[in-house]
Structure 1
């Protein structure tokens, strides 16, 4: 199995960032953005810039797309259902699939449609990308961490590793990918939801104060729920995630805070929505995530 070309679904912060990295290293022929036909028509003529330079990568409608070596799903969670339909034209018998959608549920939904054979489990973390009003800015590319699911064929992970190496995409192959997925879920439940709920950036969440208390408390509840689910999350994991946020631009903001500015639907169901449901199953109290879920929903409804 050899990967030469990637099709990316999702022309937001994550999709634009990694598409740009791939194109800068392998050339513009190595990556294409794909949209469903209706969305493609709505976005015709849209001007997008990457760190001040115009986006030069091709975008095609699904009706004109052909099977790709690799499909990178980089939509927001609410857009996954439409993305699955769009992928019908992109997924061939040997197409690899990697999802960079937040949360721990997207790969299962993808595999229900296209199977686990060529699907891996993955997260993207550490980037400081901000995408507002058609302009993407970033200084940290972060990294993609991925690993095989139980039913992933053995040649898929090495093929992805080789492609990301050639494409200059920072990445790590994880032996225990479920631990990494839950660590990222813990981070997102803390930082994404706190910054959305308080309308703040990374700096406010890292300094002593109400925002920092919320950030840490939400993560600690995820730690408890994860351990009940059989994931060996630790205080060291929590501290590493807090240190990661402290290393980012204090004026930067995570995706849900950007959603608040742009008045877009958030991924709250993937974070506190998931944690509250699992906590109920295990009889665990999660007051911080419960408050975050309710407060974020109230903000969305006010729009």
Structure 2
């Protein structure tokens, strides 16, 4: 069934970027942002800017929402539990769900609530979006990679694929999506956490003579070992490709956790090193760099 109406839960960098692209190609009637009622009362009317222009997409409270064809989740990890409640009025019998959250666990939590039959596994990568003080800037919109979970019903992936084509969003359907999400987790474990701890940028973390670069690679290698212990064949070539991807981004840009440090917002450390540490303990794997990054991030958060 063709997807015509989309709701995005999460009006941050990822949500604004993809919502803007959808609106440019399909019009503002094709997409809306949905907030829980309390947050809408505080922030729903706040103007946000996207690359210097006001965002034209409407935002509505959950109490005014009705079922849509596709729900896209773009909140941060700490906001997932609330988002699952917020999206309830959006989910009808034929609604499909795509989660663009970081980490490897969000789809499981979505499926526990709404079922695997309508849910795909997905990641977004390659964007250089920065959202600070109500202003989003980006030069690289990145891409979405997604694929079917074992329980995803036939046709769901094809319907979402067709919609993303019409919406002008660069994407690819993955045959082995589990390998892709672990490769993305490996990248995030390195770049997000390192830039958060050091206050770094894509440029500084890619400086091969610097301490940030050593942290980036060490944390990623630990994540690669844990992935393999989990049965996912993430390779050194995957690691190299992710580092090369970082080199294509705006050197003055920064990943989301570095923005969280500036905005003093809760980070996704549990989705990154928290996950790596928990799984490493299960498999008897040593992950000292991720343990150090976890401790540093929690200390920075505590200082707020």
In 2: Cα distance, 1:163 partner to 1:3 partner: 6
- Determine helix, strand or coil for the equivalent of 2:116: coil
- Determine helix, strand or coil for the equivalent of 1:39: helix
Tell me, yes or no, if the aligned pair for 2:12 and 2:75 is still in contact at 8 Å.
Answer: yes
Show the counterpart of 2:256.
255
In 1: Cα distance, 2:25 partner to 2:74 partner: 20
In 2: Cα distance, 1:93 partner to 1:214 partner: 46
In 2: Cα distance, 1:245 partner to 1:11 partner: 24
Matched, 1:274 2:270: no
Give the C-alpha shift of residue 47 in structure 1.
1.6
Tell me, yes or no, if the aligned pair for 2:98 and 2:119 is still in contact at 8 Å.
Answer: yes
Alignment of 1:195-210 (within 5 A): 195-208=195-208, 209-210=210-211
- Determine helix, strand or coil for the equivalent of 2:117: coil
Matched, 1:162 2:171: no
The size of the alignment, in residue pairs, is 303
Greater than 3 Å deviation, 4+ residue runs? none
Give the C-alpha shift of residue 87 in structure 1.
1.1
Give the C-alpha shift of residue 221 in structure 1.
0.2
- Determine helix, strand or coil for the equivalent of 1:165: helix
Show the counterpart of 1:264.
265
Give the C-alpha shift of residue 45 in structure 1.
2.9
Show the counterpart of 2:7.
7
Tell me, yes or no, if the aligned pair for 2:51 and 2:136 is still in contact at 8 Å.
Answer: yes
* Deviations 1:263-300, CA, capped at 9 Å, x for gaps: 00000000000000000000000000000000000000
Matched, 1:242 2:208: no
* Deviations 1:198-241, CA, capped at 9 Å, x for gaps: 00101111012100000000000000000000000000000000
Tell me, yes or no, if the aligned pair for 2:4 and 2:30 is still in contact at 8 Å.
Answer: yes
* Deviations 1:135-179, CA, capped at 9 Å, x for gaps: 000000000000000000010000000000000010000000000
Alignment of 1:26-175 (within 5 A): 26-175=26-175
Give the C-alpha shift of residue 44 in structure 1.
3.6
- TM-score, normalization by structure 2: 0.99
In 1: Cα distance, 2:212 partner to 2:115 partner: 41
Q: Which runs of 5+ in 2 are unaligned?
A: none
Tell me, yes or no, if the aligned pair for 2:35 and 2:44 is still in contact at 8 Å.
Answer: no
Show the counterpart of 2:190.
190
* Deviations 1:20-63, CA, capped at 9 Å, x for gaps: 00000000001000000000000143120000000110100000
